[in-house]
Amino acid sequence: MTNRALNRRSLLNWLLLAPLVILNLFPFAVMFFTALKPGSEVVSNAGAWLPSHFAWQNFVDMWTTTRFGPALLNSVYVAVASSAGAIVVSIPAAYAMSRFKFRLKRPYADFLLVTQMLSPIVLVLGLFRLVVWLGLIDSINMLVMIYATFQIAFAVWMMHGYFNSIPVDLEESAWLEGASRLRSLVGIFLPLSLPAIAVTAIFTFINAWNEFALALTLLRKPDNYTLPIQVFSLVAGRYEVDWHYVMAATLLATLPIALLFAWLQRYLIGGMATGAVK
């Protein structure tokens, strides 16, 4: 295919994808321009895209008046800790499903698949009563444990398919050299599995970062709020809403994750496809 044909094909693809790109960028444009409007213009001049002047001070004021900083730290802690916990538990489970044969292997795999069909919102009432009975309501560490538990099944399924693509011969060669199963797992198997582990960790991190229903149910004190709850508190139950602060907080909460996902998308696709190619 000639360069002219490649350029023509690329241009056609961009033209076809342009509406989707605009559709995805539109909410960010609304948040950005609303966040930069002075408070008096958000309602009185709501139909105008551009403000009379760009109020960059809104981001500084929002950070200090809405407790955005503590909520950001809580979200980072919850997302990182729950993702790490899910990965640590899921690696041995996925390895066992890939390498061992046992009687209940198929029912166990089916059970993991069925759990993915249940939304966490279905279990909110039961979880709430359990957490209250344990006396751990409003505990951010309990929220981490619940997030990690919900993501274990997803993480096991993600890594199990990739683990199956790694030849057993590599481990058997290490065993013949005198290495134990644990040493071959740590020294040979896990380094080869890093793409799948990284992809799974990114997805579990994003799921924990965006979760709203469980955090709203289990957290009470503003000091323990995660970002979704903190942004929600700027709107819920208020007679007058400072929409410029709401949009500034929402933009800062969503834009870093969107940029991270866009930057890592090639690695995500490559990590998910490597197992199929092997």
Per residue in 13-50, pLDDT (tens digit) is 788 888 888 888 888 888 888 888 887 777 776 667 77
How many other CB atoms sit within 10 Å of the CB of residue 71? 23
Whether the Cβ atoms of residue 235 and residue 212 lie closer than 8 Å to each other: no
**58-101 pLDDT per residue, tens:** 888 888 888 898 999 999 999 999 999 999 999 988 888 888 88
pLDDT at 270: 56
Residue 248: pLDDT over 80: yes
How far are the Cα atoms of 109, 192, 214 from residue 61, in angstroms, in the given order? 50, 47, 29
Q: 65-277 adopts what CATH topology?
A: MetI-like fold (1.10.3720)
| Cα 95 off chain centre by | 23
pLDDT beyond 50 at 166: yes
For residues 122 and 269, which has the higher predicted lDDT (pLDDT)?
122
How sure is the predictor about 224, in pLDDT bands with cuts at 50, 70 and 90?
very high
Residues 6+ apart with CB under 8 A from 106: none
CA 237 – CA 216 distance, rounded (Å): 14
pLDDT in tens, 99-112: 888 788 788 877 88
Residue 261 has pLDDT above 50, yes or no: yes
* pLDDT of 272 higher than 60: no
Residue 206 tokens, joined? 């994003």
Domain boundaries, the chain: 65-277
Predicted confidence (pLDDT) at residue 278 exceeds the cutoff of 50: no
Predicted local distance difference test score (pLDDT) of residue 277: 40
Q: What per-residue confidence (pLDDT) applies to 45?
A: 67
**Per-residue model confidence (pLDDT) at position 225:** 93
Residue 146: predicted pLDDT: 92
Do 28 and 251 meet the contact criterion of CB atoms below 8 Å apart?
yes
User: Could you give the CA distance from residue 91 to residue 182 in angstroms, rounded to a whole number?
Assistant: 13
State the Cα–Cα distance between residues 270 and 278, nearest whole angstrom: 12
pLDDT for residue 194 is more than 70: yes
Q: What is the mean pLDDT of residues 181-186?
A: 80
